[in-house]
Structure 1
Amino acid sequence: MGGGIIGCATAYFAERAGLKTVVLEQRPALATLTTPVATGAFRLQFDNVEEVDLVRESVAFFDDLQQRVDIGLRHQGYLFVARTDDGALSQRNLVAAQRTWGLTDVELLDRSEAGRRFPYLAPDIVNARFRQGDGWLEPRRLALELARASGARIETGVTVTGFRIDGDRARGVATTSGAVHADNVVIAAGPLSGPVAKLAGLDLPLATVRRQKLILPDVPQVPADAPMTIEFETGAHWRPAGGGAHALWTAPAPAGPPLDDVPTTAEFAFGLLNPASDHALARIVPFWKEVWASSRLQWWLQAGQYTYTPDRRPLLGPTRIPGLAVNTGYSGHGIMGSVGGSRRAVDAITGKLSPADNPFRPDRPMETRAFDVL
């Protein structure tokens, strides 16, 4: 259930595992809720080895797929920039940890080297870390190609209204178009996963939070070859897109109910663009002051919802209800985790991946973790 990037990736791996698959999507087209609002970025610069391994698998898949289908793949890198001594120390410690996990191509740059490599940076930064292999792609292109290549039956405009339970096992779902029988049911509905699970009497540890994306179509100051550039202390970030940029900020926000239409706010745009803001893009990249003052400045906003778990890691695999599995809760990392996560979810369903070897199993002990910057 769910026809976004995660649902499409689940179908792809399920079919390759020999499972005849049906994808149910309540909207009239695939990948139209959260997937197209994502910035499409991917990185291996995580603070834990499990997510490094998961995303590494996804990126290898993206690289291979790009050889056959244009999914807009760009390896322009991720550049995390620290403005404070505390931030710089955290970056040094993280790079040291990443090297023990086999991630040896993250460069730690001092102020002068960062300024030489990326001359648009402010002169008062303290350090930066950069990995060229990180980057971004076009998420809806990826989702639709996964759906096409899966060979699964796709049904759009269909809403799940309940589950078919035989004894204690899920045997399918009831929908607005009739019953669908299945030996395995997978909830991969992004921000709607929680409400869908409740139809089966299952409470998932998920919180949905609004996230917005600022789209600036015409910003000549943005170097077309720039990396994703992130202020380490605030998480405000931007990347080139077309002749302009996409800009984002993991704004502190309360959890809210899942929405089919997520509203935007002008305040979000001003927070990134106004140089007086405490998370302005101009704090580490001065040319954004020129952008703010320019008569050419125009923008629009998109909004979606991240689906968070307490430990900021996805829920992958069978639940306590036999026959019912989940692939959700990517906590803002759904595009980059889609392939590695969905392959693991399917392997857990088929028994190829045991619960003991699945650090993302839904019934794992969870400790609340803070954001990994983004």
Structure 2
Amino acid sequence: MTRLIADVAVLGGGLIGSWTAYFLARRGKRVVLIEKGVVGAQSSGTNFGNLRLQGRFPGQYPLSLRAQDLWERLEDLIGDSCEFDATGHLYCAFDEAERDKIDHYAEVSESYGIRIEHLDRAQLKRRFPWLGRKVIAATYSARDATANPRLVTPAVARVAKSLGVTVVEHCAVREVRKSGDTFHVDTDTDLQVECGHVVNAAGAWALEFAERFGETAPLFPAGPPQFVTEPFPYFITPSVQTVDGSVIARQIPRGNVILAGYPRTAADPILNRAPVPPVKTLAAMECLAEVVPALRSCHVIRVWSGIEGYLPDMLPVIGQSETTPGLIHAFGFCGHGFQIGPGVGLCLSEIIVDGHTETPLSPFAIGRFQQEIEVSDKFKREFDAVRKTP
């Protein structure tokens, strides 16, 4: 058996865990990052790569803006831009009810100092003539951006390792227990870590660790279907998203179009599989052709997904355990974790090192599930769709 003494054990080598380890190492903490597979293999590395500010839960904006500042300094932080690109983001409406939604989202964004442009059909035709006639209005946020999720988490983990973090891959955590002020983390590779803090950033697998300490959440696994087309002449500069989520698309300078075709698909965290049914690919491309008619003839060349955790209010769990001092949770990001990832890692490092963070995290407390919560309409739609997935 190999025994390591550390200040913090981070369970899960996704974006959240890797950023947390990185910021802790910068504060001089001894960290062991444990990943059951390879770093960034699940939703952290297989998501759309959207760094979207507009349209977020209002209580998340302080965290989201803090994260965006870190994204904008990514190359200074880790020495790699990871294809960060301030593309801007178009939020598109198909009817007046959806126009009201994006106008409301914009008002919330603007209240936090984010500049939003409100565009009608005539303005869209002048600035983005490639949009289909189905789009009657849109809001545009120039600060929104994208990055390559396949590159980011491994890059952050590499820098964390250079700062002294012990990164252990292909190592599943079997037991976490606490004796006095010390946590004991046992794994299937005979590695044992003794530490003062544990960060539960295990994604769709996080619930088993929370429940060992008397806490729970109604987490369920699903996969975000993702597609990429063959290269096409480059003409779409911003990310494009519809209010109903049927189209979330961006074109990279090489010409390929990346598309997220929601609703999500079923996922199996036990078998570690998140297959994408062909019918979803066809439906997503049909929707894309309505929004961007010029892409009607594009061919899909690859389809993929990952496994991520969802919660009924479509908000993550972030913050200290309410039963066990030294245990910190960060899971259930509901498809929104890529943008806030570095901000979450920074906040968790502050909680561990300083005992608190100035960024408000109370809406994300795990204790909220001890009482009845309001179930998101989006969750209801997604959950029904996942259950019906063939």
Q: TM-score range by the shorter chain?
A: 0.7 to 0.9
1:120-131 alignment runs, 5 A limit: 120-131=130-141
Code of the aligned partner of 2:288 = L
Whether 2:190 is the aligned partner of 1:190: answer no
Other-structure match for 1:294:
none
Whether 2:348 is the aligned partner of 1:335: answer no
Two-structure CA RMSD over aligned residues (Å): 2.5
Whether 2:74 is the aligned partner of 1:65: answer yes
Other-structure match for 2:158:
148
Other-structure match for 1:284:
291
d(CA) in 2 for partners of 1:318, 1:206: 18
Q: Classify 1:94/1:26 alpha carbon distance in 2 versus 1 (closer, same or farther; 3 Å).
A: closer
Whether 2:140 is the aligned partner of 1:137: answer no
Other-structure match for 2:6:
none
Other-structure match for 1:229:
240
Other-structure match for 1:362:
366
8 Å contact from structure 1 (residues 191, 258) kept in 2: no
SS at structure 2 position matched to 1:243: coil
Whether 2:218 is the aligned partner of 1:209: answer no
Whether 2:117 is the aligned partner of 1:115: answer no
What displacement does 1:135 show?
A: 1.6
d(CA) in 2 for partners of 1:163, 1:71: 34
Render the CA deviation track for 1:101-138: whole Å, top value 9, x for unaligned.
322x1111010001111110113422111111112111
What displacement does 1:85 show?
A: 1.3
d(CA) in 2 for partners of 1:345, 1:355: 10
8 Å contact from structure 1 (residues 318, 325) kept in 2: yes
Q: Would you identify which runs of 4 or more consecutive aligned residues in structure 1 move more than 4 Å? A: 252-259, 354-357
What displacement does 1:258 show?
A: 5.5
Render the CA deviation track for 1:290-328: whole Å, top value 9, x for unaligned.
33xxxxx24221111231222222211221222221111
Q: Classify 1:117/1:170 alpha carbon distance in 2 versus 1 (closer, same or farther; 3 Å).
A: farther
SS at structure 2 position matched to 1:359: helix
1:1-374 alignment runs, 5 A limit: 1-27=11-37, 29-67=38-76, 68-103=79-114, 105-150=115-160, 151=163, 152-166=165-179, 171-176=183-188, 177-220=190-233, 222-223=234-235, 225-241=236-252, 242-251=254-263, 257=269, 259-274=271-286, 280-291=287-298, 297-319=299-321, 320-350=323-353, 351-353=355-357, 358-364=362-368, 366-371=373-378
d(CA) in 1 for partners of 2:359, 2:368: 9
Q: Classify 1:144/1:355 alpha carbon distance in 2 versus 1 (closer, same or farther; 3 Å).
A: closer
8 Å contact from structure 2 (residues 268, 274) kept in 1: no
Code of the aligned partner of 1:189 = A
Code of the aligned partner of 2:326 = G
What displacement does 1:188 show?
A: 0.8
How many matched pairs?
A: 359
What displacement does 1:358 show?
A: 3.5
Code of the aligned partner of 2:279 = E
8 Å contact from structure 1 (residues 172, 184) kept in 2: no
d(CA) in 2 for partners of 1:52, 1:175: 37
What displacement does 1:343 show?
A: 1.7
8 Å contact from structure 1 (residues 330, 337) kept in 2: no
8 Å contact from structure 1 (residues 162, 173) kept in 2: yes
SS at structure 2 position matched to 1:311: coil
8 Å contact from structure 1 (residues 54, 341) kept in 2: yes
Q: Classify 1:170/1:355 alpha carbon distance in 2 versus 1 (closer, same or farther; 3 Å).
A: farther
Code of the aligned partner of 2:154 = L
d(CA) in 1 for partners of 2:82, 2:226: 20
SS at structure 2 position matched to 1:108: strand
8 Å contact from structure 1 (residues 172, 185) kept in 2: no
SS at structure 2 position matched to 1:363: helix
Unaligned runs of 5+ in 1: 275-279, 292-296
TM-score, reference length from structure 1:
0.87
What displacement does 1:66 show?
A: 2.5
What displacement does 1:264 show?
A: 2.1
8 Å contact from structure 1 (residues 6, 338) kept in 2: yes
8 Å contact from structure 1 (residues 229, 237) kept in 2: yes
Unaligned runs of 5+ in 2: 1-10, 383-390
